[in-house]
């Protein structure tokens, strides 16, 4: 090779190396700043999951109680305990009726019931507190202790009290009268009653009946009574619980 050709080859190599060193690589930041946007991510988005209905909400809605409109409300009468200490202070048996006079503390309402299985209707006695008059449409004379049931309603579905009471209906009654007898408002039994004999010339007793009554309240808190009743035939009957009672006392209007 001649020296001239060798020099020409060397010059061409130098020019080629110089041209390569001047080439610039476009940085990534240049692409970001250019007007051409970067290619968007074309990956398909995962759809969001629709939540299932809440189990709690479902139970709450299915367990909701529905009011029953066809249910009939039953009203129960207010409890009354006056019969626990009640007693009969007098009973009368007539041909077609038997009447029981009860002492029942704080009684205000009427009652329906039975006496030894026979029908009985009761109502508070007018003008007297703690008094209940009960009537049965039968002559029940002949028995002392009898079984009573008292109901708050005429259908006899609400039982208020059931128990036995002494009636003294086994004691022969006096001659029937045309007027209701008077009895003191005090505790007494048939043993405290004295009956007068009916005169032969007196056709009927109870006409013009008048009674004198004295109530005594003693220092031991006992309340006793003395009562004497007369009619057109003379002495009719008396009630005496004072007898030989001793001690200080004051007069009162009645014992209950």
pLDDT at 201 over 70: yes
Domains assigned to the chain: 80-173 (2.60.40), 174-256 (no CATH)
User: pLDDT tens digits for 58-89?
Assistant: 444 445 555 555 565 555 666 788 898 899 98
Checking if the pLDDT of 42 tops 60, the result is no
pLDDT at 36 over 50: no
Confidence bin at 41 (pLDDT 50/70/90)? very low
pLDDT in tens, 85-132: 899 988 888 778 999 999 999 999 999 999 999 999 999 988 788 999
Whether the per-residue pLDDT at 2 is higher than 90: the answer is no
Tell me how far CA of residue 69 lies from CA of 66, 73, 245, in angstroms: 9, 10, 67
Distance CA 20, CA 29 (A): 22
**pLDDT tier at 150, thresholds 50, 70, 90:** very high
- Which position has the higher pLDDT, 216 or 16? 216
């Amino acid at each position: 090779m001649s020296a001239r050709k060798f020099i020409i080859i060397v010059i061409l190599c130098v020019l080629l190396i110089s041209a390569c060193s001047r080439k610039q690589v476009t940085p990534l930041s240049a692409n970001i700043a250019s007007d051409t946007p970067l290619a968007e991510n074309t990956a398909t988005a995962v759809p969001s999951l629709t939540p299932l209905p809440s189990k709690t909400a479902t139970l709450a809605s299915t367990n909701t109680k529905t009011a029953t409109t066809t249910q009939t409300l039953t009203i129960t009468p207010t409890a009354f305990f006056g019969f626990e200490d009640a007693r009969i202070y007098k009973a009368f048996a007539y041909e077609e009726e038997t009447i029981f006079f009860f002492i029942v503390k704080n009684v205000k309402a009427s009652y329906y019931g039975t006496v030894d299985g026979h029908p009985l209707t009761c109502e508070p006695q007018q003008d007297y507190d703690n008094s209940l008059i009960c009537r049965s449409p039968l002559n029940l004379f002949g028995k002392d202790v009898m079984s009573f049931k008292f109901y708050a309603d005429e259908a006899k579905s609400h039982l208020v009290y059931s128990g036995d009471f002494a009636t003294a209906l086994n004691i022969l009654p006096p001659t029937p009268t045309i007027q209701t007898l008077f009895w003191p408002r005090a505790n007494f039994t048939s043993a405290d009653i004295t009956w007068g004999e009916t005169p032969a010339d007196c056709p009927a007793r109870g006409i013009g009946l008048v009674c004198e009554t004295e109530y005594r309240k003693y220092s031991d808190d006992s309340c006793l009574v003395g009562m004497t009743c007369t009619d057109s035939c003379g002495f009719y009957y008396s009630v005496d619980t004072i007898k030989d009672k001793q001690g200080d006392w004051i007069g009162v209007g009645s014992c209950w």
